[in-house]
Structure formats: structure tokens, C-alpha cells
Amino acid sequence: MAYIPYNANPIGRDTIDCTVRAIAAFLDSDWDTQFARISIYAFSKKDMMVVNNLWMGYLRSMGYRPHVIPDTCPDCYTVRDFCADHPTGVYLLATEGHVVAVKEGNYYDTWDSGNEIPFFYWERR
């Protein structure tokens, strides 16, 4: 389990695009493709693409369903803990105000978000 520096933004910007970056990693896609698809989905819903319900709806439209992380320790179960508990597979984690991709027990992000507390996750089939 490790933090892997990852920035799919084509010009390397580190901006408020964590949702696009994480979804691109989750789907083994690229930033441009996911930005365009999420934007089109947002346009169809007449909502902003950074709204949680919007990008969650985008994932649902592709057949993905969120799983709630049990809150047996709501303030201590971190992204790192999730990675340790899920050494295989591909996941997308939603934390308070952030989204991060997990692949094979490693988390991919522009910064070390390992101490963030995940609330939901999606598993790639």
C-alpha cells in the first residue's frame, strides 16, 4: 500500500478537478475523455459537474453503485486503511470534499490524501 503521485490533467494543473482525475484513473481513461463525458452529463442534468450528486449520477448511469463504508470508527478509518483492507481491485473513494482512486492497494492522487476519511466507495468490475 502506497501513495502514488498522479495527475492526469493534460497540462499538469493541480486544480479543483479531483473528480475528473480520480474517475479517469478508476476507469483507466484519460482526463480529456472524462472531462468531456462528465460535462455532457452535467449539461443534460442542468447542474455543475463538481456537485457530488452529479458525478455520482454519472457513475450510476454506467451501472456503478456506491457502497457505504461502515462507521465503526468514523474518525479513524482512512484512505490508507481502506487500501490495506483492499489490496486487490480498483476503487473510487469519496471523502469530505475530495475523490481519490485506489488500484491494487495503492492510492493515486496529486497529494498524499492517505489520512482522509472515506464515506463511500465504488468498485470497478
Q: For 61-117, how does the pLDDT look when each residue is reduced to its tens digit (9 = 90+)?
A: 999 999 999 887 767 899 999 999 999 999 999 999 999 999 999 999 999 999 999
Average pLDDT value over all residues in the chain: 94
Rounded to two decimals, the pTM is: 0.94
Query: What is the rounded distance in angstroms from the CA atom of residue 46 to the CA atom of residue 69?
Result: 30
Alpha carbon 111 to its chain's center: 13
- What mean pLDDT comes out for the span 35-55? 93
Instruction: Give pLDDT, residue 1.
Output: 81
pLDDT of 14 reads 87
In which band, very low, low, confident or very high, does the pLDDT at 49 lie, cut at 50, 70 and 90? confident
* Confidence class for position 120, pLDDT limits 50, 70, 90: very high
Of 21 and 15, more confident: 21
* Interior angle at CA 61, CA 59 and CA 67, nearest 5: 45
Say whether pLDDT at 37 is over 80. yes
- As a whole-number percent, the residues of the chain with pLDDT over 70 amount to 99
pLDDT at 50: 81
